[in-house]
Structure 1
Amino acid sequence: MPIASAIRRLFGLSSRGRVPSDPSGLEGSCGDPQHRARPKAVGKLHKAASVGDTVKVEQRLMLRKSGVNDRDKKHRTALHFACVYGHPEVVTLLVEKKCDIDAHDRENSTALIKAVQYHQEECATILLEQGANPNVSDASGNTALHYAVYYENSSIVAKLLSHHADTEAKNKDDLTPNLLAVRENKQQVAELLIKKKENTHALDEPGRYSCSFIKIRL
């Protein structure tokens, strides 16, 4: 099987390059909000989170009409929905209400993974700064870093690396983010991963830093 086809299969992509299933149960094109349908048959808290209604989210939690970690049939929490649809205010509120920041849905995806898949950098940043684990893997063994590399989102890759994302984490096809970057010719993110690895080696072996630096400059 060609590498490109294998990668598409690995990431749940169709031949048209669609992203994995979103929390509405429908597929969107590259995480574009215009291609997302609003969630159906989910709780009121989830709906409020998906449209960014911070007031309603807070009211339901204060009146105890909903629990901050309530799940729908696919085990998704309000935090998953807020991250997919890009509502950082709701994300902040849910975190302040002590939600399970690393809650898994049925596909073992965390809210951080969903934020990365849908290019919601502000939401991803909030989660990372509040202690979300960047090294949780989903049902395919992919971490948030795998997805950031695949979509060549250099900014999110850099933030994940600054929060100790594991560059050697292997998915079910034994692909690390490093190998994925090389195979998919993601040059910008590949350079970030290489620098991260060299800096790590420099900390472990101080004498190697200057050599690595000179090599890069040449």
Structure 2
Amino acid sequence: MRKIFCFGADKGGPPSGPSSHHGQTREGLEGEAGDSAFLQPRYHIWKKDLSQIHQAASAGDVAKVEQILLLKKKVLDARDRKKRTALHLACASGHPEVVTVLVDRKCKLNVPDSEKRTALIKAVQCLEEECATILLEHGADPNHSDVYGNTALHYAVYGDTPSIAAKLLSHGANKEAINKDHLTPLLLAVSGTKEEMVEFLIQKNADINAVDKMNRTALMLAEHHNSPSILHLLEEAFTTKFQNIKKKR
């Protein structure tokens, strides 16, 4: 089950309740970013607060979006009360056809919303891989960070989506980006006991010596969270690194 961080788009009624977050708790995500960033819901959609272009984008109504843009070109990058563009809403709601229309019309790709999240960050946060792919292929910035210091790669790690993480890295995402808790994507993966992501990032040569704001390494975090399988992966990585250093001497 994938669309779990975010609330579903409302058709005009009140927002729904919180989601299950993959069954995860806040354990392992201590600090400012852990308390709030990864528990953010999908956008609350209040139809009455949205303009026509925002409503159409959120609903995935391609024909309506095209009609509106034909008559009102200036609304392409219009922002609502929460500084969201039609692109933000299309990505968060999972409408790649609308995203394609908007990017083909040369919309601005890296506009930040009220939490400084770009459309790419929202697409990744809400596990909308197709939308994220379209944005990356059109030049969206993979290294923009939100108010918590998280980049799209941090959200790909939290969402346990190596396929999205791989696409981000192939388009220049910084695998050593640090959020406000001083967590790199690898440290975040270890903290969240996400074994698949840890293995993936090790394979991508993420820095296994990075430390969080409490000067804890990935190994220390794995021990702290009682993750023997992750601890084993890290120990193997350290051994391989040491052997490679010896060979070079």
Residue number in structure 1 paired with 2:71: 63
Return the offset for 1:23.
2.4
Cα distance in 1, alignment partners of residues 159 and 125 from structure 2: 8
Deviations 1:147-182 (A, max 9, x none): 110111121111111112111111111111011111
Cα distance in 2, alignment partners of residues 108 and 161 from structure 1: 21
Question: Structure 1 residues 66, 46: closer, same or farther in 2, change over 3 A?
Answer: farther
Cα distance in 2, alignment partners of residues 170 and 65 from structure 1: 38
Cα distance in 1, alignment partners of residues 107 and 203 from structure 2: 34
Match for residue 81 of structure 1 among 84, 89, 92: 89
Amino acid at match of 1:178: L
Match for residue 115 of structure 2 among 107, 121, 135: 107
Contact 1:149–1:177 at 8 Å: present in 2 too? yes
Amino acid at match of 1:72: D
Match for residue 157 of structure 2 among 149, 159, 174: 149
Cα distance in 1, alignment partners of residues 32 and 181 from structure 2: 12
Return the offset for 1:83.
0.3
Q: Do residues 95 (structure 1) and 103 (structure 2) align?
A: yes
Amino acid at match of 1:105: D
Question: Structure 1 residues 38, 72: closer, same or farther in 2, change over 3 A?
Answer: closer
Match for residue 165 of structure 1 among 173, 185, 200: 173
Q: Which of these two proteins has the greater Rg computed from alpha carbons?
A: 2
Residue number in structure 1 paired with 2:39: 19
The answer for unaligned runs of 5 or more in structure 2 is 1-25, 207-239, 245-249
Residue number in structure 2 paired with 1:201: none
Contact 2:29–2:35 at 8 Å: present in 1 too? no
Cα distance in 1, alignment partners of residues 132 and 56 from structure 2: 19
Residue number in structure 1 paired with 2:28: 4
Question: Structure 1 residues 90, 96: closer, same or farther in 2, change over 3 A?
Answer: same
* % identical aligned pairs: 52
Root-mean-square deviation (Å): 2.3
Return the offset for 1:22.
2.6
Q: Secondary structure in 1 aligned to 2:36?
A: coil
Q: Secondary structure in 2 aligned to 1:173?
A: coil
Matched positions, count:
185
Cα distance in 1, alignment partners of residues 40 and 106 from structure 2: 28
Question: Structure 1 residues 11, 150: closer, same or farther in 2, change over 3 A?
Answer: farther
Deviations 1:27-83 (A, max 9, x none): xxxxxxxxxx56441111000001111111111111117510000011000000000
TM-score (norm 2): 0.68
TM-score (norm 1): 0.78
The answer for unaligned runs of 5 or more in structure 1 is 25-36, 199-210
Residue number in structure 1 paired with 2:185: 177
